[in-house]
Structure 1
């Protein structure tokens, strides 16, 4: 694996999800294999585990003394105390001798186990409370990590779209054509960039000025090749909150003009000429 691939893997967030136990069996095996092969992966994994452990310790909540007393009292309320038991009475026919050196040892063994059990149970309850509190914090951390991953993916997509836009306008291999409105829609306009070498066709979605349409229709881009229209793909108007900057259409090797018509959703085999909204020629 290349250094760039390892760096991208470390920044992907999969190690954080592994520590939180939120990965599939295949992903778990992959993380453990890479950690065994690459010390930098093992080091990053250890650092994440230490960070989560420090986070849990810093945010641990110790139960109040009042809560501990309530737990102990609720546990001991029915256990009883040996001191409340009455001594067994002797039968009337038993003979007692003054010289007998008989020592009756107090029966405290049962009481010891009762209090030990109560203490263990109280400790268990406090531990369960602490574990639940830690689990809640880990769940919050997992949610935050997921949100961060989604934000990072969204930003990466926006950067990719920006790069495509810069490529369209800065690469001299692209021919930029401004399509003007027809008599049907004189206010319409849009920009198409075409690279004859790579055959790429890009549409500038931000500068697009086309009439709105219903859900049953789409706009379709056509290239005029030797006097014949060739389908280059369909597109919708971008939403107001859309992050779309450019849209790549079907490639075309040669074109003398480009036009856009309004067609039924999914596109048509041949253009509907009376529904042409923009046209541009080289």
Structure 2
């Protein structure tokens, strides 16, 4: 039997073994072929079976079978990144298995085991097939992007944005700025330059959003500060209410913590649609 036919025959036997319908002769063939390096055991069928069994009996505490648990524990060592880059230190390894081994030791986690090995299958196959280049650093995913990063992302990836320029009032005529807003995401950012530093214990800046579809009162967009030494600041808009058609954004100077309704005694800047 050529390798392809041998592998196909082994896969048929493997499926039958999982379903429990192999006779003695077929089981003996499976045991013999399973020792052949070209016939690697494919756990995907077993994982699928475990997942289905867990779903059908989800109202009871679900455990993996002893045979499957033993197989998972024995085969976990197979799911390592191929050692094509021996110069890497242990601390540089992409896949670390100590935590996974601890997880496998707990029998009441069939769904977690299935998810774990699905991930490891992908990593292993990508590495073996050349799809994962371990020579290149993997970029970090920003779980908590900075306001600058979030603003750039919304500018790059979002359509139908509202973009308006701020103009400072007489007392703040040196300030410049821009506001970008997405109705779809309910997200927006202000980029403000040359705005005077404020003392948060005495005064704070507060944003107001004018949305004619709501009512005549502007919506609070949150309070913010301009720290010392920061000539340009990116401020995230913090709107507690849904905004659907903003026509203007107004910055005022208010008491610490802001106010519910502004008397607009100290208007800093305005950005409005033409």
Q: TM-score, normalised by structure 2?
A: 0.44
Q: TM-score, normalised by structure 1?
A: 0.43
Higher helix share: 1
